[in-house]
Structure formats: C-alpha cells, structure tokens
Structure 1
Amino acid sequence: MSDKEKSPLAKRFRGFMPVVVDVETAGFNAQTDALLEIACIPILMNETGKLYQGEAFNAHLEPFAGANLEQSSLEFTGIKLDSPFRKSIAQDEKQAIRKIFKALKEIKNAHGCRQCILVGHNAHFDLAFLNALIARTNSKSQSPFHAFSVLDTASLSALAYGHTVLAKTCKMAGIEFDNDHAHSALYDTQKTAELFCQIFNELPMLPIACETQTDTNHDEVL
C-alpha cells in the first residue's frame, strides 16, 4: 500500500494500529502462571485527527493445563475461579484469542494498517503473557501484533504528567477512575485507552515530525 493509500491512522503510527491490551493473571511468570482475563481495544482516528477508542474485545479464560495459580495474585485481582458466573463465561484460550485476533485483523485491514502494536501500562508485562499465550495455542500466524515493540502508557504518563501509576495518572489527567473496578482487564484497558488517547490528542506531533512522516520501509522495526 502506497503512502497515498494509507489512512491517517496508519500514517500517524508508521503503519501500526495501536491496540490497548490488559491482562489479569495468577502470577508474574508468563511461562508458568495462568492467564485469566484479556481485553483489547483498538485505537482509531476520526476525521479531525483525534484518537478514540474502538470496540472492546475481551474474554475470561480457563487456566491452561498445568498452570500455576498464586493465591496472592488471585486475592489481589479478586478473581474467583470457582464463581458460577465465571465458570459460565470462561473460554478456552485458543478459541478466545483467535476470535479476538480475527476481529483485530479486520479492523487493522479496514484502516490500512500493516500490523498492530500493543499499548499497555507497563506494556512488556502484558506482551509477555500475550506472547506466551500465542506460543501455547500455536497462534503465531493468526496474531496481528508486533512480536516485541510496544507503546507504554507508564512512560508516556511520566512524560505528560510526571507520574506512572495508572489510577493516580488518570486522576491527574481528569479521567475518572474507580478503584473498586480496577484489576478487571476490561476496565483497566478502557482507562488505559482513554489515557493514551488524551495524551496523544493533547500533545500533538511536533511540526518537524509531521513533515518527515514518510517512512515506507515495512521491514524496519521500532
């Protein structure tokens, strides 16, 4: 796709479509600990060049066979694995992630983007669990995400607001944040997406960056 055919969103992020991702887990080790919730929200651009949240895709996941479950992590997130409601909606990892990937690919293609880039608050934590999930489910060919590049709202928040904690940064930015809903993958993703959009919408690109935004080398990595 030539530069002239690229959408403004694709041009803004060098062919990438930002997708905010948050995971809730049963520990900190992506290789051994269960991934229990995942939520993804694509970031889109309106006709005036402002970023906004697209449709959210989320799933409660069944722990993979042999997964480690740290009780302290379950207590921290408040996830109750034996909850009748959770049992009724929890999905198989492979089925859930491939459905999400399919939806994201359709949106990515519709906006002329070549790949998704993960946006997260302390993003490499989320990426590690996402990549482990991709490996477990043999979904590499289905994944629309760049394997290692991310956009981190903790770093962006340090630049824009001088703080890195999501809840505190949201409040500093004038974004409502309810701690009673925190540590839900969907809620945290929505708030991270709102923060990401606000930072980019309030801090536009420098003129020199706009003038040099002509990179068309699809083999280059961030």
Structure 2
Amino acid sequence: MSPSNHTKTKKSAIHQRFRGFLPVVVDVETGGFNAETDALLEVAAITIGMDKDGMLYQRESVSVHVEPFPGANLEQKSLDFTGIDPHHPFRFAKREDEALDKIFTPIRAELKQTGCSRAILVGHNPFFDLGFLNAAVKRAKLKSPFHAFSSFDTATLGALAYGQTVLARSVQAAGLEWDEKEAHSALYDTERTAALFCKIMNTWNRLQQS
C-alpha cells in the first residue's frame, strides 16, 4: 500500500472509539414541548475531541438565537421557565435555516477532519433536542449532519455513574460546578452537559486502563 493510500484509510481516534460517529453535545430552548408546532428559540452545540491518551474534551462551541417560524406556537409557561422573550430586538435571532447553517458548519468541518461519517447528538434526555432539531431541519429543507434517531443520553449515563438523572444533580455529583442562575440557557446547559459527558466517559476510560 502506498503512503498516500495509507493516509486515506487511517481512521482518527475518535472515529475508532465511536464507530465512525462524532459526539456533538446539543441543547435547545423552545416555546413548548411539541417539535412540530412549537417554536425553536435557541440552539447550542459543542463538538467533542479526543486526545492522544483517549480522553475526551470540549472543542468548538457555537450557539444561536432563533426566530419563531411562521405560525409557531409559543407556550407562555415555557417562556416563563426559560426567561426568553422571543421578540426582544437584542436577541439578534436568525431564521431557522440561517441558524441551522451556523450550527452545522463547524460540525461538518469536524466530520471532515476526523473522517467520521455522522455526528451523534449527545444530550440530557436527547429525544427532545433531536426531535426539535429534526423538525427544524425538515422545515428548512436542509440536510442534517446528525444521525436521524440515534443519540447518547447523559441522563442514563448520570444514573449509571452517580445515581442521578436530573442534569444539575448529575453535574454536582460529578464534582463539577453548577450555577442555577445560568441554567436554562442553551449554551450553559450544553457546556455543563458536555462536561458531564466527558467526565463520565473519561472515568470509564481510566478504569479500563487500570
């Protein structure tokens, strides 16, 4: 085999660790619980890298405020919970297609760099985040870099590692910082979820190596 062919077939460490999937932590904030009818208001994503020792770490983060799509439902209870004013002029919100493009661009670049075939969404109860993401992708008529239905759930991992399923309690049980005043913003929740995911996976990796 020539050196050039060898380079093409060599797989990155994270590609090998997750069978060709690239973990990307995602959190969304919304105007309700129905992905088909309720507004997507915020999206944040953090790509996950792997160092030479097989340890995971947070790489690039990206977040965006999203304009409610035409006809979107906005539940007041959800807005009160998140504290989001969807029509505030200083949100500088983008249309769904523009917002998704901003989120997907660094993910696609990371897929190309690592040789991974698809991103896999990491989230806390990720069926919710993936459902809203898939619905927005469908409305925007875009192609998503994420696997359509597979995901990694930090609620399950937190239950396994720490006996906790609530994000705040899992994060604190892992010995990580949690600021309740910052919670329920997409970027903060994504960063804390990413920290939790890396902590659990790296702890398991150390146990495997010992």
| TM-score category of the 2 structures, normalised to the smaller one | over 0.9
C-alpha contact 2:122 2:154 (8 A) present in aligned 1: yes
Matched, 1:114 2:117: yes
Question: Take 1:188 and 1:69, find their aligned partners in 2: how far apart are those partners?
Answer: 21
Return structure 1 stretches of 4+ with deviation > 2 angstroms.
Answer: 1-4, 81-84
The amino acid of 2:37's aligned partner reads T
Deviations for 1:175-194, whole angstroms, at most 9, x for unmatched residues? Answer: 10101111100000000000
Matched, 1:203 2:208: no
- Cα deviation for residue 100 of structure 1 reads 2.0
Deviations for 1:109-167, whole angstroms, at most 9, x for unmatched residues? Answer: 10111110000000100000000011000012xx1110000000000000000110000
Question: Take 1:157 and 1:197, find their aligned partners in 2: how far apart are those partners?
Answer: 12
Question: Take 1:98 and 1:175, find their aligned partners in 2: how far apart are those partners?
Answer: 31
Question: Take 1:101 and 1:79, find their aligned partners in 2: how far apart are those partners?
Answer: 23
Question: Take 2:88 and 2:132, find their aligned partners in 1: how far apart are those partners?
Answer: 23
Question: Take 1:170 and 1:120, find their aligned partners in 2: how far apart are those partners?
Answer: 13
**Paired residue total:** 204
- Cα deviation for residue 99 of structure 1 reads 2.7
Matched, 1:14 2:19: yes
Match of 2:30 in 1: 25
- Cα deviation for residue 83 of structure 1 reads 2.5
Normalising by structure 1, we get a TM-score of 0.88
Normalising by structure 2, we get a TM-score of 0.93
Question: Take 2:102 and 2:173, find their aligned partners in 1: how far apart are those partners?
Answer: 36
Question: Take 1:176 and 1:4, find their aligned partners in 2: how far apart are those partners?
Answer: 41
Question: Take 1:44 and 1:108, find their aligned partners in 2: how far apart are those partners?
Answer: 11
Match of 1:126 in 2: 129
Matched, 1:137 2:130: no
User: For 1:32, what is the secondary structure of its paired residue?
Assistant: coil
- Cα deviation for residue 81 of structure 1 reads 2.2
- Cα deviation for residue 206 of structure 1 reads 7.7
Gaps of 5+ in 2: none
Gaps of 5+ in 1: 211-222
The amino acid of 1:159's aligned partner reads L
The amino acid of 1:138's aligned partner reads K
The amino acid of 1:190's aligned partner reads E
Match of 1:186 in 2: 187
- Cα deviation for residue 47 of structure 1 reads 1.6
Question: Take 1:4 and 1:109, find their aligned partners in 2: how far apart are those partners?
Answer: 13
Identity of aligned residues (%): 57
Q: How does 1:5-84 map to 2 (within 5 A)?
A: 5-84=10-89
- Cα deviation for residue 103 of structure 1 reads 1.8
Question: Take 2:64 and 2:193, find their aligned partners in 1: how far apart are those partners?
Answer: 17
User: For 1:103, what is the secondary structure of its paired residue?
Assistant: helix
Kindly report the root-mean-square deviation, in angstroms, between the aligned alpha carbons of the 2 structures: 1.8
- Cα deviation for residue 70 of structure 1 reads 0.2
Query: Whose helix fraction is larger, Structure 1's or Structure 2's?
Result: 2
Matched, 1:93 2:96: yes
